[in-house]
Homo-oligomer: A and B are copies of this chain.
Amino acid sequence: MGKVKVIKVNENVNALNDGIAAGIRAQMNDQHTLFLNVMSGPGSGKTTLLAEVINSLKDRYMIGEMDVDITTSIDAQRVADRTGVESIQIHNGGLCHIDADMTARALEAYNTKGLDLLILENSGNLVCPAEFDVGAHKNVMLLSVPEGDDKPLKYPLMFSVCDVVLINKIDTLEYFDFDIDRVSGYIHRLNPEAEIFPLSAKTGEGVYEFCKWIEEHIRNLKDVLINGSS
């Protein structure tokens, strides 16, 4: 059995990641591009929701989309097929997350200049993606009703780092033991500032309210950067 030497590189790796992330945010600020990082567990409906959202906004804004997956291009293809916007697939080679460096390399290959909105669909995982700042302005996470309302108790870091929680698949509320008030209480105990939007990507219910939130933040970003107000 081989000897293993343990070397502490975490602190340096995090400092490096956060530096690259800050650089990405600066680039997005220069371009006036709102950059959203969308996270969730597997099968919570990110791809379907993002296609809905992009279709609602694409007539008024220039939008780009990036998808992270281990090996396939299914999600990027679905978004491109359903919306017509340019979508690129990032293969993370079996890793459970994407970090700022991988995001930066994807951005080198993808011309995002002129975009009002750039959406990153992160890999389906409630643990690892929460640990990496990818340079987004806002972290958005999806929790779907069938996953259960105890998830904030079990994945506290994810619910702590997100600015918005979308409760997806509310059209199935009657089939599952899921209480929106209870889950909202759990989320706000971890993260009092989190905004919560119950919605259904399938029926469209509640999607408008989330789109309004995105539009407000696209406008805020341009106002702050053009007028210098904050």
Contact = CB atoms under 8 A, between A and B. Distances in A.
A16 B124 CA distance: 28
B94 A96 contact: no
Classify chain A: how many residues form its interface, as a range: 35 or more
Given A43-B146, A44-B147, A96-B125, 8 more contacts: A1-B15, A70-B127, A72-B153, A96-B128, A125-B125, A125-B126, A146-B172, A172-B175
A210 B124 CA distance: 27
Interface in A9-62: 9, 11-13, 15-16, 19, 41-44
A127 B96 contact: yes
What copy number does this chain have within its complex? 2
A105 interface: no
Contacts of A153: 72, 74
A220 to B, nearest CB: 29
Contact of A151 (B7, B11, B42, B157): B42
Contacts of A44: 147
Contact of A127 (B7, B13, B125, B146): B125
11 contacts: A2-B11, A2-B16, A4-B9, A5-B7, A41-B43, A42-B151, A43-B147, A96-B125, A125-B126, A125-B127, A172-B172
A169 B157 CA distance: 27
Contacts of A13: 4
A156 B70 contact: yes
A208 interface: no
A69 to B, nearest CB: 6
Q: Which 9 pairs from chain A and chain B are nearest by CB?
A: A43-B147, A2-B12, A146-B146, A96-B127, A41-B42, A43-B148, A1-B19, A4-B12, A2-B15
A16 B42 contact: no
Contact of A74 (B94, B95, B150): B150
